[in-house]
Structure formats: structure tokens, C-alpha cells
């Protein structure tokens, strides 16, 4: 429970944490950002890392963030290149895991709990049934589903050439869109003064398609 609270605090105050990390670790921050995006997209049992909010915050710091007399700034082109690569490689790893070990992992339990929640797999499967292969692109913008989509594609033995095409389009669109959104708007006074609310908004908008799909499915069963 404490770990979940710390994760939530990191997500909601990601601008403060990023500022400190840039000050403390310098260029190593690029490796840290790469690792977070790669793990969130590449490891199917790590779906709760802050992908969307991290990209927005990283874009904000690419434009430069000053607190008191200290300036923290990232290189926009390095961030875009590294995080696009992390997103594409992460999904590719997740696809391979699903293809190679998907059925075993789907049944694996740790104590009383399944390693992979059946509900998350079912939600992702519903996305595939509705959107087909384009799910790989659409899911990039939906937390949790984003992590399970490539795994499910591998589990279903989607042709890798088809997956790769949508993986690259989705990865580039996701990183480019959210990072540039932060770059151009993250330092506006109204955003800086309400950064936590903005992060809530990004998370809410990201979850909206999944919540609408769940609500529609429940209404159809009545």
C-alpha cells in the first residue's frame, strides 16, 4: 500500500520529482526516462508506471523549468529520439513475451493472486475485437491497455510485420504528441500553477475510452 501511495505521489508531482532528478543526476536523467517508458511498455506486469504524465512533464522540461534561481532543462530532440526508441522496443519485447510465454503467464499465480489480471486481458481483447490491428496504435493513449495490447497481440500470434508497422506508428505518435504538448503548453502560467490538476486531466482523458467501453459493455448485457 505504501508503494502504491509513493507511485501516486510521483505521478501527481512528477514535475517536482523530475526537477530534482535533473539537478541530481544530470545527463543520467535521459537513461532514467528511457527505462521508465521501456519498462511500462515492455513488461506486461508493470502497467501502472506514469507514461502519459511523464511524456508531458518531459516536454515541459525540454522548454526549461526555473524554480528560484535554478534552471532544469532537457534536450527536446534527445528526449524524442530516446523515448520513441524506448516505446517501440518496449512494445516489441512485450509482443515477444506474449508470443513465447503468454499462455503460461496468463495462468501464473503468486499466492492467491494472478500475475496478470484477467480483467485487464479481457478489456484489451475487447479493444482488439472492436478496432483490430489498429488497437496497437489506439492503445498507446490508454493506460493499462497500452501495456497489455502488444502482449495480447503476441499471444494471438499476430503477424510480426503487421505488428511492427502499427507499433512504430503508435510509438512515434504517442511520444511526439504528448511530449510536444508539454513543450508548447507546460510552461504556461495557468498550467504551471495547476500542474497536478493538469496531470489528473491527462490521466482522466487517457482512461476515458476504456471507461466508455466498459460502460457500453455493461449496458449491452442488461
pTM for the predicted model, two decimal places: 0.84
- Domain count of the chain? 1
The backbone torsions φ and ψ at residue 110, rounded to the nearest 5 degrees and listed phi first, read -115, 105
Whole-number pLDDT of residue 181:
94
Q: How far is CA 150 from CA 3, 132, 154, in A?
A: 26, 12, 6
Q: Can you name the residues that pair with 65 across neighbouring β-strands?
A: 72
Q: Which residues of the chain have pLDDT under 50?
A: none
Q: What is the torsional sign of CA 190, 192, 196, 201?
A: positive
Domain range enclosing 98:
2-221
The backbone torsions φ and ψ at residue 114, rounded to the nearest 5 degrees and listed phi first, read -75, 145
Whole-number pLDDT of residue 44:
72
Q: Which residues neighbour 186 within 8 Å (Cβ) at sequence distance 6 or greater?
A: 56, 57, 59, 60, 61, 63, 192
User: What is the largest distance, in Å, between two alpha-carbon atoms of the chain?
Assistant: 60
Whole-number pLDDT of residue 33:
94
Amino acid at each position: 500500500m505504501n508503494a502504491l501511495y509513493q507511485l501516486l505521489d510521483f505521478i501527481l508531482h512528477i514535475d517536482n520529482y523530475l526537477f530534482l532528478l535533473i539537478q541530481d543526476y544530470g545527463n543520467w536523467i535521459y537513461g532514467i526516462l528511457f527505462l521508465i517508458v521501456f519498462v511500462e511498455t515492455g513488461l506486461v506486469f508493470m502497467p501502472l508506471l506514469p507514461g502519459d504524465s511523464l511524456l508531458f512533464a518531459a516536454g515541459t522540461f525540454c522548454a526549461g523549468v526555473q524554480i528560484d534561481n535554478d534552471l532544469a532543462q532537457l534536450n527536446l530532440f534527445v528526449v524524442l529520439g530516446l523515448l520513441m526508441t524506448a516505446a517501440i522496443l518496449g512494445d516489441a519485447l512485450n509482443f515477444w513475451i506474449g508470443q513465447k510465454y503468454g499462455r503460461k503467464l496468463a495462468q501464473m499465480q503468486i499466492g492467491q493472486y494472478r500475475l496478470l489480471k484477467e480483467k485487464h486481458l479481457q478489456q484489451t481483447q475487447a479493444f482488439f475485437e472492436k478496432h483490430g490491428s489498429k488497437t496497437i496504435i489506439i492503445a498507446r493513449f490508454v493506460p493499462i491497455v497500452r501495456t497489455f495490447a502488444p502482449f495480447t497481440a503476441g499471444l494471438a500470434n499476430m503477424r510480426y510485420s503487421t505488428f511492427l508497422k502499427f507499433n512504430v506508428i503508435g510509438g512515434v505518435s504517442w511520444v511526439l504528441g504528448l511530449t510536444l504538448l508539454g513543450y508548447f503548453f507546460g510552461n504556461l502560467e495557468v498550467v504551471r500553477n495547476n500542474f497536478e490538476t493538469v496531470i489528473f486531466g491527462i490521466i482522466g482523458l487517457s482512461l476515458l475510452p476504456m471507461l466508455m467501453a466498459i460502460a457500453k459493455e455493461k449496458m449491452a448485457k442488461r
